[in-house]
């Protein structure tokens, strides 16, 4: 099951009320984008703006920075790859290509683009559902929720989705919604496995 959403809430255990531990305790494997995704995205967006403005030396600088960041990240991954089972994440450019079908390329909402692209990537790798973690009443997060409906309609795949607004209240209602969602994910995942066996 994949998690997308607002960068800080998604990555801070206190802000998301230890959501991933709760999901794991309910029997799900949780896929979470790395924080480096946001760093690469800022670099990607800055490079695009520099191109538009004709600042080609700046574009070149961002290209060099991206390559250096990837090199440093690869060095770190090589140190821990024997200990951690890690999937290789798509480049930001590839994520943006996945997003183009559902969001206009000129749309400037960073977390919307990343969340939609990552959700499409997760689904293509067999995720049984997507959780969108947002701060309470977050407009970009609500846009992502609406786009998920569009993806379901256009692709004809009724994958389970849940938007979890985190407001620090530890609501019993939210807990119950998550538990119901987990059952939907398990059912969806099992039905996909059965369909795969038949083919």
pLDDT of residue 181: 94
Q: Cα separation of 10 and 124, whole Å? A: 21
Joined together, the tokens standing for residue 57 give 């030396």
- What tens-digit pLDDT sequence spans the chain (199 residues)? 899 999 999 988 888 889 999 999 999 999 988 888 888 999 988 998 999 999 999 999 999 998 998 899 888 888 887 777 666 778 888 989 999 889 887 776 678 999 999 999 999 888 889 999 999 888 888 999 999 998 988 878 789 999 999 877 667 778 899 999 999 999 988 887 666 555 5
**pTM higher than 0.95 for the full model?**
no
pLDDT of residue 64: 94
* 92 contacts 37 by C-beta, under 8 angstroms: yes
Which structural domains are found in the chain, ordered by start? 1-33+110-191 (3.40.50.11900), 35-88 (no CATH)
pLDDT of residue 86: 61
pLDDT of residue 157: 78
Q: Cα separation of 20 and 28, whole Å? A: 9
Read off the DSSP letter of residue 108.
-
pLDDT of residue 63: 92
Joined together, the tokens standing for residue 66 give 């991206």
Residue 27 β-bridge partners: none
DSSP three-state, residue 176 = helix
């Amino acid at each position: 099951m994949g998690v997308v959403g607002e960068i800080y809430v998604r990555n801070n255990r206190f802000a998301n009320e230890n959501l991933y531990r709760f999901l794991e305790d309910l029997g799900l494997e949780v896929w979470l984008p790395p924080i480096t995704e946001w760093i690469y995205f800022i670099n990607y967006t800055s490079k695009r703006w520099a191109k538009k403005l004709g600042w080609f030396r700046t574009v070149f600088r961002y290209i060099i920075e991206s390559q250096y960041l990837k090199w440093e990240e690869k060095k770190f991954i090589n140190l821990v790859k024997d200990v951690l089972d890690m999937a290789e994440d798509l480049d930001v450019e590839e994520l943006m290509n996945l997003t183009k079908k559902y969001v206009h390329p000129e749309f400037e909402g960073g977390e919307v683009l990343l969340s939609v692209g990552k959700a499409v990537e997760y689904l293509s790798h067999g995720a049984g559902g997507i959780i969108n973690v947002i701060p309470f009443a977050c407009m970009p997060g609500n846009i992502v929720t609406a786009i998920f409906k569009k993806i379901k309609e256009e692709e004809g795949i009724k994958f389970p989705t849940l938007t979890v607004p985190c407001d620090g209240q530890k609501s019993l209602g939210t807990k119950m919604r998550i538990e119901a969602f987990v059952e939907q994910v398990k059912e969806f995942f099992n039905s996909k496995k059965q369909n795969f066996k038949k083919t």
